[in-house]
Amino acid sequence: MPRLSWPLQILTILILAVMIPACQRGYKETVTAPATVPPPPTTIPEVVNEPPPTPTPGIRNRFAVVIGVSRYEYSGPDGLQNLLYADDDAVAFAATLREMNWPDSRIRLLTNEEATRRNVTIALESWLTKAGPEDLIILFWSGHGFPDPEDPEKVYFACHDTDARIPATGYRMDRVRQILEERQARNVVILADTCHAGKIVTRAGSKGIAVEPYIRKIKEEQNAPRGWVFMVGAEADRQAIEHTSWKNGAFTHVLLMGLKGEADGYESLAPRDGSVTLGELRAYMESVMPDLTQKVLGTAKRPLITTSTAAPDIWTLRLDVP
């Protein structure tokens, strides 16, 4: 190999001085650089059909059908007599529900000419279909009730256009009960300020059995829907228990006083907490109504109050909206 001249030797040395460190650095980077790890594949989580959470115990929604009839289309000597305050009863009860935070959309109020058999049927058999198993239904009815002369066990609520000479133009009380049972609501409260109202508590049949013994039989056999409460004025003559000093029937007058706070904490059954339980209301009405009617009317009138089940917790139910 020919010997390089000294200028070329110097140039070669300079080139090698630059290339050797660069090659060493590249080798080190190639050897020591960590291997690139591909990202894990994206996974779609498995969909698991879990049962819905258990709803909070208690009332979900509240519905009230409120009916009061003072004026009857077929009133007269041979028909139903007009009343003084049955319509006012219904209006006052609906107003009390609003004071207890019930929205108007959950109250169906029918009075006088509005309370035809057709409109009552729509309210009970169509509007109430919104109610479900976790709901509370209240039926308030103030006015006349009357039996079928041919079959006294058949008792009817009188609508505005009811002709008492044709009982089928009224609304049968056992039909009311059947409709409410179909809703399968958690709780049903029936408030009736009407003559013969006690019949709504009984079922068809058992002809000749008095109302109160039949109620006791229902309690013992527990054959009525669970969670129902009946509070009714069971007097035979509605007109005898209206009074101008109340502007209501006796039953409704005491009922409203109780709901407005007079029954709160009554007889220390529960704390006085601004909310009335059905137990407090029952005790208040059973005590106050006889005393009040004795003073005003000269004879004591008592409400008929019972439940379809022996479970005591039904009386802790409150009608107000928290």
Q: Within 13 A of 166's CA, how many CA atoms are on the CB side?
A: 8
Instruction: Check whether 83 has a pLDDT greater than 90.
Output: no
> At 277, is the secondary structure helix, strand, or coil?
strand
> At 16, is the secondary structure helix, strand, or coil?
helix
pLDDT, tens digit (0-9, with 9 covering 90-100), for 36-79:
545 554 444 444 343 333 333 478 999 999 999 999 999 887 77
User: How much is the pLDDT for 9?
Assistant: 54
Q: Tokens 């505005």 sit at which residue?
A: 160
Taking the C-alpha atoms of residue 134 and residue 59, their distance in angstroms, rounded to an integer, is 6
Task: For residue 125, tell me if it sits in a domain.
Answer: yes
Instruction: Check whether 187 has a pLDDT greater than 60.
Output: yes
Instruction: Check whether 99 has a pLDDT greater than 70.
Output: yes
For range 141-164, the mean pLDDT: 86
* pTM (predicted TM-score): 0.74
For range 125-145, the mean pLDDT: 93
Instruction: Check whether 172 has a pLDDT greater than 70.
Output: yes
User: Which residue in 175, 266, 281, 274 sits closest to 229, CA to CA?
Assistant: 281
Q: Which domain holds residue 103?
A: 62-235+305-316
Task: For residue 183, tell me if it sits in a domain.
Answer: yes
User: How much is the pLDDT for 114?
Assistant: 98
Task: For residue 69, tell me if it sits in a domain.
Answer: yes
Q: What's phi and psi for 14, nearest 5 deg?
A: -65, -40
Per DSSP, what are the bridge partners of residue 171?
A: 157
pLDDT, tens digit (0-9, with 9 covering 90-100), for 275-284:
999 999 999 9
User: How much is the pLDDT for 2?
Assistant: 53
Q: How many domains does the chain have?
A: 1
Q: Comparing 153 with 172, which gets the higher pLDDT?
A: 172
Q: Read out DSSP for 185-246?
A: -SEEEEEEEETTGGGGGS-S--TT--HHHHHHHHHHHT-S-TTEEEEEE--S-GGGGEETTT
Provide the 10 A C-beta neighbour count for residue 119.
18
User: How much is the pLDDT for 77?
Assistant: 79
CA separation, residue 101 to residues 62, 130, 144, 198 (Å)? 11, 19, 29, 30
User: How much is the pLDDT for 306?
Assistant: 80
Task: For residue 287, tell me if it sits in a domain.
Answer: no
Task: For residue 32, tell me if it sits in a domain.
Answer: no
Q: What percent of the chain has pLDDT over 90?
A: 39
Q: Comparing 208 with 50, which gets the higher pLDDT?
A: 50
pLDDT band at 300, cuts 50/70/90? confident
Mean pLDDT, the chain, rounded, equals: 76
pLDDT band at 89, cuts 50/70/90? very high
Instruction: Check whether 297 has a pLDDT greater than 70.
Output: yes
Is residue 132 a contact partner of residue 60, using CB atoms and an 8 Å limit? yes
Is the four-CA dihedral 161, 164, 169, 171 of positive or negative sign?
Answer: positive
Task: For residue 156, tell me if it sits in a domain.
Answer: yes
Q: What is the CATH number of the domain that holds 187?
A: 3.40.50.1460
User: How much is the pLDDT for 303?
Assistant: 86
Instruction: Check whether 309 has a pLDDT greater than 80.
Output: no
Instruction: Check whether 313 has a pLDDT greater than 60.
Output: yes
> Among 83-92, 122-131, 168-177, 230-239, where is mean pLDDT lowest?
230-239
Instruction: Check whether 319 has a pLDDT greater than 70.
Output: yes
Best-predicted range by mean pLDDT (123-127, 185-189, 217-221): 123-127
Q: Pairing between strand 136-143 and 107-111? A: unpaired
Task: For residue 223, tell me if it sits in a domain.
Answer: yes
Task: For residue 6, tell me if it sits in a domain.
Answer: no
Provide the 10 A C-beta neighbour count for residue 36.
5
